[in-house]
Amino acid sequence: MQEISTVPYAPPKHVAIIMDGNGRWAKARGLPRTAGHRKGVEAVRRTVEAARELGVPYLTMFGFSSENWRRPEGEVFDLMQLLRFYLRSEIAELHKNGVRLRVIGDRTKLSGDIVTMIEKAEELTRNNKELNLIIALSYGARQEIVEATRQMVRDALEGRLSPDEISEESFSARLLTRDVPDPDLLVRTSGEQRISNFLLWQSAYTELVFVDTLWPDFTKRDLEDAIREFNQRDRRYGAVGTR
């Protein structure tokens, strides 16, 4: 049975999370960065379950950015190994709990076996409706916007799109999140206050909440607190406020 939310508000339709602080968590304990990333995987598991229990329909998590490829080769290797572990160990449980998994980002940089596991996981969970889980891997928002622009130009040159048809809606329809609502709430952990090339177009009117908790320590309570803060905001979308 699904746990009843302890948050006295309706949950946001879409929560996005920048998972930050694995390295600092490990450093504070005299451990290698890999240890922080492993604990971060546990926090992913907790947060997915918490979002499902709280009734959040869409959850997007920034797992690996296009800039992260610049990290030391050994760290990137370890992160890819952890990704393989997650895809092997978690998909059956996600499917059992009605979670649909989708991955957005540049798959051309990922190893073939990882792409195959992603495709199989997406196909297995395609019809699940309890929670839409979107993982951003090898993802960069600027790259996404550039690619959407290229697609619009190609469509125009080939006669499928006229200049008069170019709009925010037609542009959004060419993004990786074309069938996902824009985030209502974006949470970043570890005290950093920036969005780091994550969902730039989609976050035009997103409420931002920055928390000091390092990602490996993130819990359901932290998510609940962020949702409480979100519900106290006056979302005006450029109009006059109601408070």
Tens digit of each residue's pLDDT (9 = 90 or more) over 24-53? 999 999 999 999 999 999 999 999 999 999
- Asked if the structure places residue 82 within a domain, the reply is yes
- Summarised one tens digit per residue, pLDDT across range 43-87 is 999 999 999 999 999 999 999 999 999 999 999 999 999 999 999
- Asked if the structure places residue 155 within a domain, the reply is no
Nearest Cα neighbor of 140 from 179, 182, 195 is 195
167-173 CB contacts, 8 Å cutoff, 24+ apart: 171/201, 172/201, 172/202
Report the distance separating Cα 198 and Cα 178, nearest Å. 15
197 is catalytic: no
Domains held by the chain: number:
1
- Asked if the structure places residue 41 within a domain, the reply is yes
A 10 A CB-CB count for 3 gives 12
CATH number of the domain at 82, please. 3.40.1180.10
User: Residue with structure tokens 């074309």?
Assistant: 178
Task: Tell me the pLDDT band of 235, cut-offs 50, 70 and 90.
Answer: confident
68 is catalytic: yes
- Name the residue range of residue 115's domain: 14-140+182-231
Report the distance separating Cα 133 and Cα 100, nearest Å. 6
- Asked if the structure places residue 171 within a domain, the reply is no
Report the distance separating Cα 94 and Cα 179, nearest Å. 21
- Asked if the structure places residue 63 within a domain, the reply is yes
Residues in the annotated binding site for substrate: 21-25, 33, 37, 65-67, 69, 71, 188, 194-196
- Asked if the structure places residue 62 within a domain, the reply is yes
Out of 20, 78, 184, 222, the active site residue is: 20
